[in-house]
């Protein structure tokens, strides 16, 4: 089936929102950032939800936000880094969607997010963050086509994704 949406997955700081914005502009589609959607629906920032209600309550809201997008097409979705790791969200990532994993090194994550206090999980110890990173990578790779972001500008990453997306589209057309 021809993909009618693009979903970006990857670790915090991999550039999902920035690249998603470029892709949406190029395709003339909408961009939804799931963290922003959760924040808009809850009326509070992600960090506050983690702090006041705990991670589980945030994950419930994240799952609801994803479910609310299931019928939308011509959409680029920049997902929170933990969304693909939640089995309850798996349905969202299957179906007629093209899923891309924006690969990033842990060192780059640290560099890009140094000044950013909005991500509660970045307060984890170095070893806990590494363990989280290492546990997430195989999940991302199993769910999306890997796209390298290391040393590349967001525009280049977006170009790469567009090319892959067009290829997937024409393969799907040939199968129909």
**Which is closer to ligand S3P, CB of 39 or CB of 172?**
39
Enter the tokens of residue 100.
């891309």
- Contact segment (CB under 6 A) with ligand S3P among 67-75, 78-86, 92-100, 102-110 equals 78-86
Q: What single-letter DSSP state applies at residue 10? A: -
d(CA 58, CA 46): 7
Measuring CA to CA, which residue among 120, 126, 167 is closest to residue 147? 167
CA angle 146, 140, 8 (to 5 degrees): 70
- Give the per-residue contact string, 11-30, with ligand S3P (x = CB under 6 A; - = no): -x---x--------------
CB of 103 to ligand S3P, least distance (A): 13
Residue 173: other Cβ atoms inside 10 A: 9
Minimal distance, residue 125 CB to ligand S3P, in Å: 16
> Which residue in the set 15, 18, 20, 80 belongs to the binding site for ligand S3P (CB under 6 A)?
80
Interface contacts to ligand S3P, rule CB under 6 A? 12, 16, 35, 46, 80-82, 119-121
């Amino acid at each position: 089936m021809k993909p009618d949406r693009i979903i970006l997955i990857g670790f915090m700081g991999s550039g999902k929102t920035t690249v998603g914005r470029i892709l949406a502009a190029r395709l003339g589609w909408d961009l939804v950032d799931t963290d922003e959607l959760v924040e808009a629906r809850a009326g509070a920032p992600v960090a506050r939800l983690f702090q006041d209600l705990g991670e589980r309550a945030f994950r419930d809201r994240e799952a609801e936000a994803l479910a609310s997008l299931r019928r939308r097409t011509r959409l680029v979705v920049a997902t929170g880094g933990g969304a693909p790791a939640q089995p309850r969200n798996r349905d969202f990532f299957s179906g007629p969607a093209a899923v891309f994993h924006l690969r990033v090194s842990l060192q780059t994550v640290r560099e890009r997010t140094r000044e950013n206090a909005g991500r509660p999980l970045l307060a984890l110890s170095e070893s806990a963050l590494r363990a989280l990173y290492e546990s997430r990578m195989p999940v991302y790779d199993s769910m999306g086509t890997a796209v390298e972001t290391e040393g590349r500008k967001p525009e280049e990453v977006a170009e790469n994704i567009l090319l892959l997306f067009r290829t997937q589209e024409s393969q799907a057309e040939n199968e129909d």
